[in-house]
């Protein structure tokens, strides 16, 4: 069987102006991109490029808070799933900039998940928070879960919730503790 080539083919789309349906302006440089590739690789890009946000209709999106080489390396990673050393900057410096960018992206994703949290997304979001080490997101979801007995029942009856408890049994303990804490707070008031 021949080796997979999808990653290489996606990499060929990187900076391809002919197939681009969106562009990113970064400190005077323009980066052509394909909305569907970005949306497939990032929930933040999916929300911004395919959702109801203003960027949905934008042909060019400005990025002011990132250096050009860092943005290029981020795009390279999105399209190829590999870190690039295509620029002359020291590898450690580039990695540090990418780590900062990844941290901002992670926080942005957490904020979007919180803003769109509902009964249908709570269990899956809780699994994501546990899996990706997002304690603030996890805390918000736990309080969402215990804030309303009706919501709790609906969420806990879902198939997604059962998967979460199976995959992350310690979450069941955390939910019980959050419920006890919420009940003791209600009784104290």
Q: What is the 3-state secondary structure (H, E, C) of the chain?
A: CCCCCHHHHHHHHCCCCCCCCEEEEECCEEEEECHHHHHHHCHHHHHHHHCCCHHHCCCEEEECCCCHHHHHHHHHHHHHCCCCCCCCCCHHHHHHHHHHHHHHHHHHHHHHHHHCCCCCCHHHHHHHHHHCCCHHHHHHHHHHHHHCHHHHHHHHCCHHHHHHHHHCCHHHHHHHHHHHHHHHHHHHC
The model scores a pTM over 0.85? no
Q: Give pLDDT tens digits for 23-60.
A: 999 999 999 999 988 888 877 777 777 765 444 566 88
Task: List the domains of the chain with CATH numbers.
Answer: 6-107 (3.30.710.10), 117-188 (1.25.40)
- pLDDT digits over 126-166, tens only? 998 998 899 999 999 999 998 888 999 999 999 999 999 99
């Amino acid at each position: 069987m021949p080796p997979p080539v999808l990653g290489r083919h996606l990499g060929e789309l990187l900076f391809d102006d002919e197939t681009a349906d969106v562009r990113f302006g970064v400190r005077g440089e323009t980066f052509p991109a394909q909305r569907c590739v970005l949306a497939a690789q990032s929930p933040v890009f999916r929300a911004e490029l395919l959702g109801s946000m203003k960027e949905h209709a934008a042909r060019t999106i400005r990025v002011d808070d990132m250096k050009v080489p860092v943005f290029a390396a981020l795009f390279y990673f999105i399209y190829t799933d590999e870190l690039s050393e295509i620029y002359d900057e020291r590898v450690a410096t580039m990695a540090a900039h990418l780590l900062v960018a990844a941290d901002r992206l992670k926080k942005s994703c957490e904020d979007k998940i919180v803003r769109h949290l509902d009964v249908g997304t709570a269990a899956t979001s809780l699994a994501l928070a546990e899996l990706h080490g997002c304690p603030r997101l996890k805390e918000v979801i736990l309080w969402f879960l215990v804030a309303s007995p009706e919501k709790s029942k609906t969420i806990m009856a879902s198939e997604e919730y059962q998967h979460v408890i199976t995959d992350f049994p310690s979450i069941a303990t955390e939910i019980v503790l959050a419920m006890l804490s919420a009940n003791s707070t209600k009784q104290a008031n």
